[in-house]
Structure 1
Amino acid sequence: MDLGLTGKVAMVGGASRGLGFAVAKALVAEGAQVSIASRDAVRIDAAAEALRAATPGAQVLAVPGDLRTSADITMWHEATMERFGGLDLLFVNTGGPPPGPSLSFDDAAWQGAVDLLLLSAVRMVRLAVPVMAARGGGSILMTTSSAVLEPIPNLALSNVVRASVAALVKTLSNELAPQKIRVNNLVPGRIDTDRVRELDEGRAKASNIDLAEQRRRMEATIPMGRYGAPDEFGKAAAFLLSEAAAYTTGAFLQVDGGMIKGVW
C-alpha cells in the first residue's frame, strides 16, 4: 500500500530513541521529510545519522530542544519551516514523568507533568495548525499510554495527565475537522523501549525479583505473549498519519498485543 507520504513534511517529538525514533524511521522510509527533536543534542544528532543510514537520501533535520518549554518548541517549529518550508504531519511525543503514587508528588511535580505531556501538546498543535490549514490540511497524532483506558499502578502523574491529552485529541479532532486536519491518538502497550525497561527495573526492585522474572510476569498478561517492537508501533503511526487513514479522526488505536482488557 502506498501511504502517500512521499515529500510530506513531518515533525516528530522525542525522537532520539524509543517510540519517537521508531515513528521517524517509519516516516522516513515512506519518503517523508522529517524534523526530529529531543533534549539531548548528542542523541538527536545520532538519531538523525541513524535515520539517514537506514534510508539513504533521507531528508532529516535534527533540532535539540526541551519540549517542556514554549521557547524551544517555537525554535524547533521555526527551524522546520526554514528548512522544509511547511508542515503536513505532527507526531506529539515526549518522555514520561517519574513513577510514584498520587500523594507522593508536590505541586511542582504535578506542574512538571502538565508541562511535559499536556502543555507541550497544546503548544505544538497551536503552531502547527495555521501552517497545515494554509496547505489544505494535515494530520496530527499524539501518543499517550494504555493508562488512559486502565490506570497503571504507581504511575499517577502519567495516568492523570495523559488522560487529559486523550481528551485533547477528541476535542481537537472535532474543532479542526473543518480545516481538513485530522487528530488521532496512538496508544502503546508494553513496547520494548528504554522507558519500559526502566519501569520494569523499578518494579522488579520493588518486588525483590530479577528483571527477567518481572518481564516474564508482564508478558503473561499480554495475550500475544510478548512485548511489542518499536517498529511495529512506528508503522501504525505512519498509517494513521497518512492519507491511507483519510477518513479517520478522533480515533484511539491500541498497539498493545491485546493487553488492554476493556471493550473500550
Structure 2
Amino acid sequence: MDLGLKGKSVFVAAASKGLGRASALEFAREGANVTIASRSEERLSEAKRVIGEATGVEVSTVAMDAGKADDVQRAIREAAERFGGLDVLVCNAGGPKGGRFDEMSDSDWQAAYELNLLGTIRMIREALPYMRKAGGGRIVNLTSASIKQPIDGLILSNVFRAGVHALTKTLATELAPDGILINTVAPGRIATDRIQELDEANAKKTGRSLDEVRQASERSIPLGRLGQPDEFGRVVAFYGSFANTYATGQALLVDGGAVKAL
C-alpha cells in the first residue's frame, strides 16, 4: 500500500528513543522528510544514526522540551521552514511520574499537565497554520491504553492521557472542514525503556523479581508477549498518512488485546 507520504514533511516529538523513534523510522521508510525532536541532543544524534542505517534516509533533528512553549514554537517553525511546510504532526512526550493520588503534590500535577496535555495543545496550535495553508494534514497523538482502562499507580498519566484523547475527539470535528484528520494511538505494554522502568519499580515495591513481574504482565496479554516498537510504529505511520482518508477522532489501542473495555 502506498501511504502517500513520499516528500511529505513529518514532525515527530519525543523521538530520540522508544515509540517516538519507532514511529519516525516508519515515516522515513515511506520516503517522508522527517524531523525528530527531543530534549537530549545526544540521544537525537543516536536516533538519527539508527534511522539512517535502517532506511538510508537522513532525518533532521531539533532540540525541544515539550513542556516549554518557546521550545515548541521554535521547533515546529524550524521543521516547517526546512521542508517548506508541515503535513504530519506526531505528538508525543515521556510518561509523567508514577505513583498514587496521595503521593502527588501540586508541582507533580502541574509538571504532568505542562508536559503531557499542554505540550500537545501547543504543538497542535503551532502546526495548524502550516496544515491549513497546505489544504490538509494529519495529526497523531500518542497516549496510553489507560485512556480506556486506568493503570494502577499511574494516576498522572491516567488523567492527562485521557485529556489528550478528549482533545483529539473535540478537534476531529473542528478540523474536519480544513481537511485535517486527527487520531489517538494508544500503546499497551510495548518493550521500551519506559516499561522496563515501570516493571523495575513494581518489582521493588512488591518484593518480586523483575522476571516475575514481567511474566505476570505477559500472562495478562492475550497474545502472550510484549509488543515491539516497530509494531506500534507501523500503526502510527498509517494513521498519520494520506492513505488514511476517513478515520478521524478515533482511539486505536495497540496492546495485544489486553484491554477488555468496549
Report the TM-score, using the length of structure 2 for normalisation.
0.98
2:33 maps to 1:33 = yes
Shift of residue 45, structure 1, vs aligned partner = 1.3
1:185-264 aligned at under 5 Å gives the runs: 185-263=184-262
In structure 2, the gaps of 5 or more residues are none
Partner SS for 2:77: helix
What is the alpha-carbon distance in structure 2 between the residues aligned to residue 4 and residue 82 of structure 1?
A: 21
Shift of residue 240, structure 1, vs aligned partner = 0.6
- Share of identical aligned residues, percent? 47
1:1-264 aligned at under 5 Å gives the runs: 1-56=1-56, 58-263=57-262
Per-residue CA deviations over 1:168-211 (Å, capped at 9, x if unaligned) read 00001110000000000001000000001100111111111111
In structure 1, the gaps of 5 or more residues are none
Per-residue CA deviations over 1:10-58 (Å, capped at 9, x if unaligned) read 00000000000000000000111100101111001111121111111x2
Aligned-residue Cα RMSD (Å) equals: 0.8
The letter of the residue matching 1:220 is R
Shift of residue 60, structure 1, vs aligned partner = 1.1
What is the alpha-carbon distance in structure 1 between the residues aligned to residue 151 and residue 35 of structure 2?
A: 32
What is the alpha-carbon distance in structure 2 between the residues aligned to residue 261 and residue 139 of structure 1?
A: 28
Give the number of aligned pairs.
262
What is the alpha-carbon distance in structure 2 between the residues aligned to residue 95 and residue 147 of structure 1?
A: 15
What is the alpha-carbon distance in structure 1 between the residues aligned to residue 80 and residue 150 of structure 2?
A: 38
What is the alpha-carbon distance in structure 1 between the residues aligned to residue 258 and residue 13 of structure 2?
A: 26
The letter of the residue matching 2:106 is D
What is the alpha-carbon distance in structure 2 between the residues aligned to residue 103 and residue 183 of structure 1?
A: 34
What is the alpha-carbon distance in structure 1 between the residues aligned to residue 244 and residue 102 of structure 2?
A: 41
The letter of the residue matching 1:39 is R
What is the alpha-carbon distance in structure 1 between the residues aligned to residue 231 and residue 44 of structure 2?
A: 21
What is the alpha-carbon distance in structure 2 between the residues aligned to residue 71 and residue 133 of structure 1?
A: 22
Partner SS for 2:243: helix
Partner SS for 1:169: helix
Which stretch of the first structure deviates more once superposed, 179-188 or 44-53?
44-53
Shift of residue 83, structure 1, vs aligned partner = 1.2
Per-residue CA deviations over 1:97-139 (Å, capped at 9, x if unaligned) read 0100012111111010000100000100001111001001000
Kindly report structure 1 stretches of 4+ aligned residues shifted beyond 3 Å: none
What is the alpha-carbon distance in structure 2 between the residues aligned to residue 213 and residue 247 of structure 1?
A: 43
Partner SS for 1:243: coil
